[in-house]
Amino acid sequence: MTLSARPKTVEQGEWIAHQVVEHYRNLWNFVRVVHEKEDDGTAVCDATSCPRMSAGANHSFTWLNSRREPVELPAHEYMTLMQRWISGKIDDLAIFPTDPSGVSFAHNPSITTTPLSQLSSPGGEPDWIGKRSGFPKNFIDVCQTIFRQMFRVYAHLYWAHFTDPFYHINLEKQLNSCFSHFVLTATALDLLKSHELEPMQPLIDMWAANGTFPPESKAYEYANLKAGERLLQLAGVV
């Protein structure tokens, strides 16, 4: 929990901006692995191996085209468009007006512990997370969408590519470490809701059962502990 918990002296908007950028960097290091071309010019994730952006047989994701219509795309194309979209949001000074790679100190950190519905400025005007650091009113909505899209990429990487290439090139531990930290952060900051975790629920259940997620975390709260224990037994871990 230490890495995902916000220091009390850091303003909430600055902390969330920092987390968005750090998790984006972590994730796309893994995406580059599946997009890297082999000697024959093919990649592990291409239109042939992954014709849809999916996470197992029961979950697939569509992209909105220029007419706001949902369309199915090969996973590599979906992830490329998503990368451009997220990068564009992070680089947009109207949304991320400060340097998100660092954090600033809050003059009144207690304001960030108040529920969003109850936030108000001293003059009675509506307040929102990040307002004091110059973030716009829709900042949280944008960050939630970014985390939702990054979760979809992680889900695809696990379901379609965990064995090939990550396990084969000994990167599975790094993938697990980054994704578990991602889930802890996203749930702690309310950037992902419990129902949005469904494509990766079995792994989340196991991580709650084996101690990866501490009992006081939101990720642990969203897990089915008994289901996780059964999965660990089937895997011969316990």
50 is in an annotated binding site: yes
Rounded to whole angstroms, the Cα distance separating 157 from 74 reads 13
For residue 169, what are the contacts with CB-CB under 8 A and spacing of at least 6? Answer: 33
- Range list of β-strands (E), 83-126: none
59 is in an annotated binding site: no
178 is in an annotated binding site: no
The residue among 189, 112, 114, 98 whose CA lies nearest residue 146 is 189
DSSP characters for 21-70? HHHHHHHHHHHHHHH-B-TTS-BSSSTTT-SS-BSSSS-B--EE-TTS-E
156 is in an annotated binding site: yes
SS (H, E, C) 202-221: HHHHHHHHCCCCCCCCHHHH
Binding-site residues from annotation for Zn(2+): 45, 50, 156, 161
Binding-site residues from annotation: 45, 50, 156, 161
